[in-house]
Amino acid sequence: MASSGTSVIVIGGGIVGLACAWWLQGRGHTVLLIDGAGPGEGPGRSGSLAALGVLMADSFHRDRGRAWELRQRSLELWTRWRHELAERGHPIPYRSGVLLLAAEGDEEERLAALGARKRALGLPLEPWDRRRLEQLEPGLPQPCLAGLHSGRDGQLDPGSALAALAADGRQRGLTVRAEAAVALRPDGGGWRVDLAGGGAERAAWVVLAAGSASGPLVETAAGVPAGGDGGRRLLEPVLGQALELELDTPLLTHWPGAVVWRGVNLVPRPDLEGGRRLWLGATLEPGREADPDQLSGLRDLGGAAPEWLREARVVRRWQGLRPRPLGRPAPLLEQPAPGLLLASGHYRNGILLAPASAAWAAEQIEARPTDG
């Protein structure tokens, strides 16, 4: 816990912003969460709208460095957070296991090498041969030469996570203001956040977790008009589309967790419609406009979808913009100015990295507390 709390404004009501606000509030800080649509609602969580909630930490292709350490920390924290939230009446549906598939010979070699490296670290990544994979029902996409199963990785429901953090945060004293932030200004050793309606809020610290909107707000903090030529463009939007399908028979509970084939996630939902629902996604599209051809290719896995998948009925389509850093590794966890933290640009890993990002923000604030 924080030795003494301070005032913090968190801007952004997606999963990263909510995680930061919830964690800081629980550590004794006075937190105001600002988001134009309210936490976890509408455009305010646009980056989270395309999320499937697949947590790939142990199965990440690296085994050292910042990205690896963030994933490991988040995996540990998500386990703690889920238990804590469930004990207070806010459970988050979770299913353990991620199965990576190799569709080509070079992928098979990479999976074998990855599994060997991770097992040398004591992580439970288990190789699955083709014979074992062929026993799964319904049948996996083809070709499917080999698999690697990560038992500690898994999938949680993003919508439930957003709702749980928001509800529990309010119960613990988190204040929420559903209004867009338009500018940041230094203010007597702290920060002033100007709002779209003409008002303002003040705090000792500001945490910017507003996705692609974080860049323009950083520009205003530096005295550069949003979108001005002197500003530094930090992030670009990448659109993702996803599908929810309903199958004829409830067979997906037989899979050992989420399946990743040629970069596409097939996520069984045993908690929905008796196990007959599957999430499929997501596309990676530049800009803000959805391409129907991309969605069509996702729907039939580029022509490789098995028959049971082709016959499934589409019950929901959704999309969202993910902020990708320009010329820098994701995510952006930086302090652009004293008392101002940037926690954005998580790209495809906002759900996974939200807890580690929140812990990082708390460390910065508690290492150099500011009265306010």
Q: What are phi and psi of 329, to 5 degrees?
A: -70, 145
Q: What are phi and psi of 358, to 5 degrees?
A: -65, -40
CA–CA gap between residue 211 and residue 289 (Å, rounded):
17
Residue 248: pLDDT band with limits 50, 70, 90: confident
Q: What is the mean pLDDT of residues 223-245?
A: 73
DSSP secondary structure, 259-312, as one string: EEETTEEEEEETTSGGGTEEEEE---EESSSPPHHHHHHHHTGGGT--HHHHTP
pLDDT at 366: 96
- Is residue 87 one of the residues assigned to a domain? no
In this predicted structure, the answer to whether residue 226 has a pLDDT above a threshold of 60 is: no
Q: What is the mean pLDDT of residues 283-308?
A: 94
Closest CA to 96 of 52, 51, 156: 156
Q: Is the dihedral of CA 27, 28, 31, 33 positive or negative?
A: positive
Domain that holds residue 28: 7-53+160-235+326-367
Q: What is the mean pLDDT of residues 196-214?
A: 95
pLDDT at 230: 40
CA–CA gap between residue 368 and residue 9 (Å, rounded):
16
pLDDT at 7: 97
Q: Pick the most confident of 2-16, 44-58, 124-138.
A: 124-138
Number of folded domains that form the chain: 2
Helix %, strand %, coil % of the chain (to 5):
35, 30, 35
pLDDT at 199: 96
Give tens-digit pLDDT for 83-107: 999 999 999 999 999 999 999 999 9
pLDDT at 46: 52
Radius of gyration of the CA atoms of the chain, in A? 21
Residues 184 and 133 in one domain: no
In this predicted structure, the answer to whether residue 1 has a pLDDT above a threshold of 60 is: no
Which residues on adjacent β-strands are paired with residue 323? 237
pLDDT at 333: 98
Residues 172 and 317 in one domain: no
Query: Which distant-in-sequence residues (6+ apart) come within 8 Å of 194 by Cβ?
Result: 181, 182, 183, 184, 185, 200
- Is residue 201 one of the residues assigned to a domain? yes
Whether pTM > 0.75 for this model: the answer is: yes
Residues 218 and 191 in one domain: yes
Q: Are 204 and 190 in contact (CB under 8 A)?
A: yes
pLDDT at 43: 36
In this predicted structure, the answer to whether residue 41 has a pLDDT above a threshold of 70 is: no
- Is residue 63 one of the residues assigned to a domain? no
In this predicted structure, the answer to whether residue 44 has a pLDDT above a threshold of 50 is: no
Residue 38: pLDDT band with limits 50, 70, 90: low
Interhelix angle for 15-26 vs 350-367, to 10°? 40
Q: For the chain, what percent of residues have pLDDT higher than 90?
A: 81
Q: What is the mean pLDDT of residues 205-218?
A: 94
Q: What is the mean pLDDT of residues 251-274?
A: 87
Residues 319 and 332 in one domain: no
Q: What is the mean pLDDT of residues 31-46?
A: 67
Decide which of 58 and 269 is more confident: 58
pLDDT at 250: 73
Closest CA to 119 of 95, 150, 77: 150
Interhelix angle for 158-171 vs 66-87, to 10°? 60
Mean pLDDT of the chain: 91
pLDDT at 285: 94
Closest CA to 293 of 285, 124, 182: 285
What CATH number does residue 122 fall under?
Answer: 3.30.9.10
CA–CA gap between residue 185 and residue 206 (Å, rounded):
10
pLDDT at 176: 96
pLDDT at 45: 41
CA–CA gap between residue 37 and residue 264 (Å, rounded):
30
Decide which of 222 and 9 is more confident: 9
Closest CA to 22 of 345, 366, 13: 13
pLDDT at 273: 77
What CATH number does residue 199 fall under?
Answer: 3.50.50.60
Q: What is the mean pLDDT of residues 141-161?
A: 96
Residues 245 and 284 in one domain: yes
- Which among 309, 324, 339 is the end of a domain? 324
For the chain, the distance separating the N- and C-terminal CA atoms, rounded to the nearest angstrom, is 18
Q: Are 368 and 72 in contact (CB under 8 A)?
A: no
- Is residue 2 one of the residues assigned to a domain? no
